[in-house]
Amino acid sequence: MMRRPHESDRGATAVEYGLMLALIAVAALVAITAVGENMAAMFEFVADVIDG
């Protein structure tokens, strides 16, 4: 009996999706951290300007 070629690839596909999800999560974390640090610096600058 011949097996369908795509049946044995299901586990590999799940692993690939998991790796992509992990990469996207890491990229999002890095971007959010960078934006957060820049925003904090901007608000500190604005607060200093307002204080005189």
Q: What confidence tens digit (pLDDT) does each residue in 20-43 have?
A: 999 999 999 999 999 999 999 999
- Measured CA to CA, the distance from residue 7 to residue 3 in angstroms comes to 7
Kindly state the tokens that stand for 27: 């990229």
Split at pLDDT 50, 70, 90, the class of 52 is: confident
Farthest CA pair distance, the chain = 82
- Measured CA to CA, the distance from residue 36 to residue 1 in angstroms comes to 58
CA angle 22, 36, 39 (to 5 degrees): 155
pLDDT in tens, 2-20: 566 666 666 778 889 999 9
Sorted by sequence, the CB contacts under 8 Å of residue 17 that are 6+ apart come out as none
